Structure 1
Amino acid sequence: MIGLSIGFYALHTDFSFFNIGRNGAGSGNSIGSVSQVESDVRVRGTKNIFWQNARSDDVVAQGDSLFVGPDSSIVVKFEDGTSITIGANSLIKFKTEGNQVKLNLQYGSIKSQNLPSNLVLDDCGKSVNIESKGDADLEIGKSSECGKIQVKSKKGEVKVNNQVVTQNKDLIVAPPPTAKLMEKPLVNEALVKLESLSALDVAKLNEMKPEDVQKKIEAETKPLLPPQLIRESAKIIVDKDRVPAASWAKAENAKEYILETADNPEFNNPTVTRTPASISKIESTSDQVYYRLKSVGNNNATSEYSKTGKIDLVYPSIKLKDDKIVYDYIAKDSQDVGKPKNFNVRWNEVPNADKYVVEVANKDGDFTKAQSYTVRTPASAVKIPGQGKYQYRVSAYNKAERKISSTSKMGEIFYNRIFDMKTPVIAKAASSLQFFFQKGLGKYIWLKWMAPESKSTDKFRVEISKDQNFSNLFQSYSTNKNKVLVQENIPAGQYFWRVRAEGQEKDQVSDWSKPGFLEVNSGAL
């Protein structure tokens, strides 16, 4: 029994450290190129460790392998202008022998309306020759089992091992185990399917010697051995283009494989996957994955479990795209501290993250009293109550509510309050004024004040009132100078006056100055 090799690696689209060359996965001679790719198609060259996503115009070289996933396809155009379409769930390896194209179709399907005239299929080490003329239209299908290739011709002349394929009928080719059986017709024009022959049938047909029959029976009844792990532990850095995957060599007499994965070494509640392929992605909600394999043979016979392997999944740390956000708020007056405002914060996407939690600390930097926001995308709006400096941080969680990345570094939001309106000051000499008029009416009185320098000040507002609360205004003035001339007649009596600065922005004002006193008397001193 051939020993099985299994290892974990990443199905990565651009892992340049291990790539030999992007425009041609291998280093062999060119056989053709990719002309069309649909969905999940991957290529691996002879010197590549990792599978890469196939792209249009990629070179297909000697020794390259193509894997075509579900609901996918790829068109390969050969150097002579002919082409084939490889269907979904297929695995194929390209070779050349002389001037012949040789395809190792391990499983899957091929279609062509323009087939190379000298195509050879490699079926588990045995060659199947397919000849066609002109615009032959045919389909080729094969399961993972050796010795069974199904050929169907829709148009044109097609021969398989020198036998003509009848149009619109399936021809199932099963190369016999010995040269003696090759002398007998493999198939006729009707639908014929040659099942695998038992050892006794082979002995009868080929008149094998008893000792050869015994060897054949022992080979067929030999139990499947468990797969052998290449490494029992590994570490993978997960990103959006690289996910954990299992890979192993095809086992002798194995039709498919059972892969079990779990987040515990006891394999409680495992995820079980059956696949005929030798590649399988691994879905995990944990940062540690345990895995083991079985081979499945004829009549669903299974091998023992392989040794248990473990893979540590390392997720990238969260990096804030806006680690410092600054917003300047122009305050209307000295009491205006700003209204609550939403700020947008962003960060990088974390693979396998089901949600992100954003925490915003209070102004003291206390995260025990933080506001928390849960979002599904790597961005969120956070509400800041008013001016000040605030810190925030982000964490990622998977569907199992497990934290899968380190918490981001602290981001900062600066909600700055800008207020530059300076309060005018009434000079001491003008804070208490007395005037005497013979007719008891005051007029042409100057009111002056000092105006501190401020870029925001545009003009001044002056009010004269009969009371200190300024609820009974006598007059109000607006001026862009630091003085105003009262030209109206002022009846005798006591008055109070005050002044404030006003800005260019609407409703932007300073505090009122301390009130000044004004007294108008009638008669001489």
Structure 2
Amino acid sequence: MSRLGKTEKTIFTVAVIALLLFSYFLYDDSLLFPKNGNSQMDLIGSVATSQNDVRRKNLDTFSWLPANREDQIFDNDSIYTGERSEAQIRLQDGTVIRISPNSLITLNMKNGQMMLDLRYGNLVGDINKGTALKIKSGEKEFNLDGSGKIEFKKSHSGNVDLRLLSGNLNYQDKKERKILEKSQPVAVSQQGMKPLVKPTVELLTANNSVFVRENPDEAMAFAWRGQGNIAHFEMEVSPTANFDHVAVLKDTKEGKTDVVEPLEPGPYFWRVKAYDKNGTVGFSEVRQMTLAHLDVPVITTPVSDARFQMEVETDDPALLSISTEVRWTAGPLLKTYHWQVSRDEQFTAIVKEGNSAMQNILTPRLASGTYWVRVSGSTIDKKNSAWSASVPFTVQVTAKKEPVPERPELIAKDIKFRLPRPEERRPASEMAPKLEWKPVSKTRGYRVQVSKDLSFQAPQTYDVPDTATMWSQVEKGQHYYRVYAISPKGQLSPPSDIGNIAVEDMRPILTVPQLMEPFNNMSIFLQTQQEPFIWLEWKKVAGATGYTVEVSNTEDFSKILYTSTLQNNRFLIKSKIPLGKIYWRVRAEAQGDTPSDWANKREFTVYHQKNETFVK
């Protein structure tokens, strides 16, 4: 960009000066229209005091000028006061008019009498004795006379309120003349002058009420009663008593409202303003209230996904269960609590629920599985909090395994025993082998097994309470035995070492007779069944004094047809016998001694001459 030439610089400078000059004229036209050179209007007073933003304007000017102390006031001048600003105007007759903040007034002389045209705002006037003052409100005019101090208040609705502060004053419009009472303000409107009856508000919601919110936007109900020609109400909630900060403002035509706006917990102040149709406002008293949020309980025990494992000494599956403690914290507003234990997170399968005045409970006995627990609280006035977060936990209960008893230790592992003769007299303790072992702790008894073979396939079994027993069913030959310890719940210990039992018989042992006739599986044909004459014969046995023979038509000899004990080694069947298979056996006998074992049985089949047979 090329530099400006001398001519351009001159033009630019003049333009800036002109712009600044016209800007100043827009702000202050006193140079164009001098303050004190107003020869068109009569002087009616001056500015006694001016504080902050006070302005005045003549009819001849277009702008508002600062109104300073001692500035002259002319007929039809207007005075304006801004926020937190005041001014005092002293009239020629000594009357002083105090103009409150946020006011606008026009002063003019009419027929030699001062007329105040209060556009809006507040005025306080000191009227001297013998002075008459005319007040204008829109098209309505009225006169004041006497001496005293009076307050004027005019809202944007157009009404003017008069209040006598001191002295004695009369007011008069075209219809009537009355004395202005100090105790009774007057409202001036287009309809005339009437005693000022401000709307009143009686608060119905109690002072120091405590509102407990279960949710941040839960409604808080406020109620009041208004009197007067009320157009609407304004309800204000503020954290400060002077309401310099209004947190909630509700406009309503009813004597109640619900506050749903979110507010922080704590103390608040509230009041209600009632507005009548003329814009007159009446204030209620200021009351306090407290807002509290109803916090949900917080479960501290058990922690999430906790596992409770325990072994229970029981054999009953129904008793495999335990209880667990649940603890939580809660705010001071909650006084009682409701708890639930469920098998599912949605709490559709509730196992148990109950109420508690304490911040802990003991659950019912719970079987193994996963559960969820939650808690809600209630205030004194039955307000319920939301449910706490559900906390899952697992219970694992098992039956306590009883310790396995130690294996018994045999005192004698090799036992030899001689069977006594029948004629021998011995103590009962010597009539059978004695089996002994060392005691084992924590047992209810012992189990003894005696077997003919080391595999113990089909043992004789005895449960005994002591550490010794007599083997009463003694049999000659080689036998084996072992011992188990039995726990109080019936659990067996490992078996002891295997002991030997050798049983000897010192008496002569008779051999088994050898059967001779008839041959085994022989067929016999009879002419008659009355006297069959069938001989049974066997070899003699050394040392035998006799023989016992048994004849049966059943293989197990459960049904005996004939039995006989004889000295010879032959037996004749000569009585009637049934047709079919016949079984027979023999054993040797010796006086005062044990008989021999039975010989292996033989069988034969009997047929009749008519070829009739009986077969089992």
Pairwise TM-score range, normalised by the shorter structure = 0.3 to 0.5
Report the TM-score when normalising by structure 1: 0.36
Indicate the structure whose relative CO is greater, using CA pairs within 8 Å and at least 6 residues apart.
1
Larger Rg: 1 or 2? Answer: 2
Report the TM-score when normalising by structure 2: 0.31
